[in-house]
Every structure is written in C-alpha cells, then in structure tokens.
Amino acid sequence: DTGVSQNPRHKITKRGQNVTFRCDPISEHNRLYWYRQTLGQGPEFLTYFQNEAQLEKSRLLSDRFSAERPKGSFSTLEIQRTEQGDSAMYLCASSLAGVARTPFGPGTRLTVT
Amino acid sequence: GENVEQHPSTLSVQEGDSAVIKCTYSDSASNYFPWYKQELGKGPQLIIDIRSNVGEKKDQRIAVTLNKTAKHFSLHITETQPEDSAVYFCAASIGGAQKLVFGQGTRLTINP
C-alpha cells in the first residue's frame, strides 16, 4: 500500500493561466475525492468519483474547474483562467465504497500570483 | 446540510498532560467520525475514527468518545509528547457518498 499520491506538490502560476493536478489513489480504492483547503480552515469537499463516474460536485466547483477520472484509476483536476482566490491546498483522498476510512494524499499547494 | 463545529481553536498543554478537543455535528444521520492530524505542509493523516454504533474507541494514547444523543464527539490524547504538536481536525460523514465535513481545526502545542 503506497498511499494516495499527488503531483505536483507545489505549483506557482500567474493569474489567468490554466493548471492541472494529478491524483493517484490507493490501487484497490474505487472512490476518489477532491477537497480544497485554504489557510487556517478545514478541507472542503469539491467532488467525488466512483470508478470513472463523477457522482457529486460541490457548489464550490465553479465552471472554471473540471475533474476527470477517465479509466477509474488516477484523476486530474484542472483549473482554467486561475484567479488569486484559487490559491489553496488541493487534497485528494480515496476509499472503497462501503468502507468509510478515507486516507488523504499530501496535497498540491497552488499559489496564484 | 451537515455542519461541524470544533473547539478550542488553539490548545497549549504541558508535555505529559492530557489534551481534549471537542466537536459537535448537526445532522443526526451522520454515521462515521474520523480525526485527522495535519502537520505543516502535509496532507491530513487519519489517526482514529469511530462509527455511530460505538460509544468509545481507544488506540494507545488516543481515544475518541461519541455521544449520539447530544451529537458531539471528542478526541482525548493522554501523556502528550512534543511530536503530538500539530493541527487536528474532526470530521463527520453521512450517507452513501461518504464525503466528509470538517471542523475548523485545533492547533495543539505541547510545551516541553
């Protein structure tokens, strides 16, 4: 069990640029979640997949955000036309449906200048 | 929707003393309550969890208690050590999606 991994760990981008993050879940986990964490706050749910199907999206996920999990394994989160308010830690987690325990990855720290 | 309140926001204790962090949740249908420890620059690490059909769970120096009637749960750390210093988050999970709603976090500092 290698745990949930995320890449890159840090990303600095200029306002208006597009960025893409990758998450590799624990191999046998069929659920994958994205959360966002701003400084001094707890993580907030963005979206989740069961296998390749995106089953729920938070209101926090504006039209500039898109997530995919094309083969039911790794997932990508893309942010288009980044804004300074997008600066945050983007966390990925995974689980097995019916098993509540949800380990998190190390996160991708996004800074928009 | 579900709301989780956590307090205190900061807690400072002497090494060797106990620390208690408390959370309340709003949705009585919540059925799973994990606690995460987060160190600077890292992702949250699951340290202990409890299901709604259990009142208490212990793992070495860490214990969690759940009061379903009052809708609150607590983390207890005994014999605290400097490496326990971190930010701790409680969370509640509801329903089939198993998505987590987090508290605001408690910054725990262990003074040597």
- Position B21 scores a pLDDT of 98
How many angstroms separate the CA of residue B64 from the nearest CA in chain A? Answer: 15
CB pairs < 8 Å spanning A and B: 62
SS (H, E, C) B15-83: CCCCEEEEEEECCCCCCEEEEEEECCCCCCEEEEEEECCCCEEEECCEEEEEECCCCEEEEEECCCCHH
DSSP reduced 3-state for A109: strand
Q: Which two tokens stand for residue A91?
A: 């966390």
**Which residue in chain A is spatially nearest to B34 when comparing CA positions?**
A101
- Partners of A5 in the β-ladder: A24
CA distance B98 to A14: 35
CA distance B58 to B85: 19
Indicate yes or no: CB of B105 within 8 angstroms of CB of A101: no
Which residues of chain B make contact with A48, given a CB cutoff of 8 A? Answer: 97, 99
Indicate yes or no: CB of B43 within 8 angstroms of CB of A95: no
CA distance A106 to A92: 8
Q: What is the largest CA-CA distance in chain A?
A: 41
Q: Considering only the beta carbons, identify the residue of B31, B32, B44 that sits closest to A104.
A: B44
Q: Does B40 touch chain A (CB under 8 A)?
A: no
Q: Does B89 touch chain A (CB under 8 A)?
A: yes
Average pLDDT on A37-59 reads: 95
Residue B111 pLDDT > 70: yes
Which tens digits make up the pLDDT trace of B60-70? 999 999 999 99
* Confidence band, pLDDT 50/70/90 cuts, at residue B96: confident
Which tens digits make up the pLDDT trace of A70-113? 988 999 999 999 999 999 999 999 999 888 899 999 999 999 99
CA distance A65 to B94: 25
Q: Does A110 touch chain B (CB under 8 A)?
A: no
The total of other beta-carbon atoms located within 10 Å of residue A58's CB is: 16
Return the exposure string of B62-80: e unless at least 16 CB atoms fall within 10 Å of the residue's CB, then b. Answer: bbbbbeeeebbbbbbbeeb
DSSP A18: -
Q: Does A56 touch chain B (CB under 8 A)?
A: yes
Residue A2 pLDDT > 80: no
Distances (CA, A) of A27 to A2, A4, A75: 9, 9, 12
CA distance B102 to B46: 13
DSSP reduced 3-state for A70: coil
Q: Considering only the beta carbons, identify the residue of B4, B97, B104 that sits closest to A48.
A: B97
* Confidence band, pLDDT 50/70/90 cuts, at residue A1: low
% pLDDT > 90, chain B: 88
Query: By the 8 A CB rule, do A25 and A73 touch?
Result: yes
